[in-house]
Amino acid sequence: MVKPDDRERARLRRRRPIERLNAKEAELSESRPARSQLSEEELQAEIDRQRTLNLMRANVPPGIGM
């Protein structure tokens, strides 16, 4: 039969890595600036910009791919 001390040690062994990961995740989230929500107009402008860049990379003349 497993001793109560062994059970407690095993429980702590499982908990420590989880606590370290949680602390690291919290530390990383604090260091990252919060991302702001784009308005519909900003989102559409970003989509158009990315579409234009992709077409330029593919050497497609403007107006044909849209």
pLDDT at 43: 92
- Which residue stretches of the chain are H helix? 4-31, 40-57
Mean pLDDT of 32-41: 78
Domain boundaries, the chain: 1-33, 36-66
d(CA 12, CA 8): 6
pLDDT average, residue stretch 26-53: 85
pTM beyond cutoff 0.85: no
Kindly report, residue by residue over 12-26, the tens digit of the pLDDT. Answer: 898 999 999 999 988
